[in-house]
Amino acid sequence: MDRDDMILISVDDHIIEPPDIFVNHLPDRYKKDAPRLVRSDKGTDIWQFRDNSVGNVALNAVAGRPKEEYGMEPQGLDEIRPGCYDVDERVADMNAGGVLAQMNFPSFPGFSARLFATEDSDFSLALVRAYNDWHIDEWCGAHPGRFIPMALPAIWDAELCAREIRRVADKGCHSLTFPENPVPLGYPSFHTEYWDPVWRALTDCGTVMNLHIGSSGRLAITAPDAPPDVMITLQPINLVQAAADLIWSRVLKEFPHVRIALSEGGTGWIPYFLDRIDRTYEMHSTWTLQDFGGKLPSEVFREHFLTCFISDPVGVKLRHDIGIDNICWEADYPHSDSMWPDAPEELHSVLTAHDVTDDEINKMTHENAMRWYSFDPFAHVPRARATVGALRRAAEGHDVSVKPRSKQAAVAPSEKLANYHRKAEAAMAAVRD
């Protein structure tokens, strides 16, 4: 397949929320207490919510920066591309990058909306609903066919969470973000019956639960003085643990139609994982009493789990060991792993290097995403205008140049490392608290 003939749907990108998300959807009685985007005395933009503040409004939103600036976190909306927070500019960036559609994870509320879990459940639910309605009606609704809508959970109450899954499904949203491990956030594990209303609602609505790396507020444990490369390398580990938790849990046995996405986890590790769970079953099921009704754990994995990759040459090479129907592509805009605006070039080079057929390319680049998320972009965008080449022609003249955006002074490598550890500790503490 020619590069320009590919159709790309990304199942993992991110929104940097604009200041007005609560203006149109939060009941008047709550508006004075809603989170506000404010400029601090230090000249940085922060979200202020009661006594809490999220100190980095644009975490890792470095698309369009030189790599030398990746270690200097953006401090405000004026240090990032407008496409991070302006939906019209986002679509222009998508066109320039040859991407037809995206699914966008939240930023400042956290992947599990833990920030919105207050002592007042009604207020918390109003915040979650307002965010979801803004996301579905305004962000996704501004450009039909260009975004797969995703909902925040009412993470503090399984029954309320189930109701919200059903409510947004009626609005056409069949994607839910959720922590890959609820326990570090203070909630019951996947092995309990507590989340049964959620599993039931997901099944009834055909909604996918998306477990994003880092969504539990805890990353792989490393030495406290390890360089950032260690943590970046180990980021998928939490999803390995989540997949193991769920494959051996009662959930998949009692809710056989639940579907789970391992978001931003990569795919190269999946073949070993499948071999390992089958070996574990063969050697230990007689005493652990695991029973998959005559199936192997690897078969059950392929029935329930969606994986995704950015380029991942090993995963592409081993695509049939993973399951060609279980793989989607992701772009991760505007984070530092993103290949924007050159994703089609890098992706195409990986696909051609491993002799991926046109049918397989179509499945991994858009058809699997459409099927898993009940999403049909072609109801709004004709196929002829949805290809990499057509989208880029529509974006001619759009500025995609790499340019410095940071206002921070250059720092020594040792200070960068110290800053990294301070920011990582603060970010994890904010999510846990």
Ordered DSSP codes for 187-230: S--TTSSTTHHHHHHHHHHTPEEEEETTTTS------TT--HHH
Record the tokens describing residue 213, joined without a space.
């790396």
Cis ω on the peptide bond leading into residue 35 (within 30° of 0)? no
- Give 54-99 pLDDT, tens digit per residue: 767 888 899 999 988 887 788 889 999 999 999 999 999 999 999 9
Measured distance CA(67)–CA(340) in Å, rounded: 13
Q: Give the pLDDT confidence score for residue 216 in this predicted structure.
A: 85
Say what the pLDDT of residue 420 is.
47
Place of tokens 């029935």: 303
Q: Whole-angstrom Cα distance, residue 326 to residue 363?
A: 9
Phi, psi of 235 (to 5 degrees): -55, -40
Cα distance between residue 22 and residue 401, in whole Å: 33
pLDDT at 241: 93
pLDDT at 422: 55
Cα–Cα distance measured from residue 421 to residue 416, given in angstroms and rounded to the nearest whole number: 9
pLDDT of residue 431: 46
Lookup result for tokens 């920011």: 423
Domain definitions of the chain by residue range = 9-432
Cα separation, 262 vs 306, in Å, equals 6
CA pseudo-torsion sign 343, 386, 324, 210: positive
Burial of 223 (0-12, 13-18, 19+ CB in 10 A): exposed
For residue 235, the surrounding DSSP H or E stretch is none
178: phi then psi, degrees, rounded to nearest 5: -155, 150
| Cα–Cα distance measured from residue 53 to residue 37, given in angstroms and rounded to the nearest whole number | 10
CA R_g for the chain: 21
CA 186 to chain centre: 21
Peptide bond into 313 cis (omega under 30): no
The domain over range 9-432 is classified in CATH as 3.20.20.140? yes
Contact (Cβ atoms closer than 8 angstroms) between residue 91 and residue 394: no
What does the block give as tokens for 210? 């998306």
The stretches in the chain having pLDDT less than 50 are 411-414, 416-417, 420, 430-433
Exposure of 364 in the CB half-sphere (CA atoms within 13 A): 29
Place of tokens 């500790």: 425
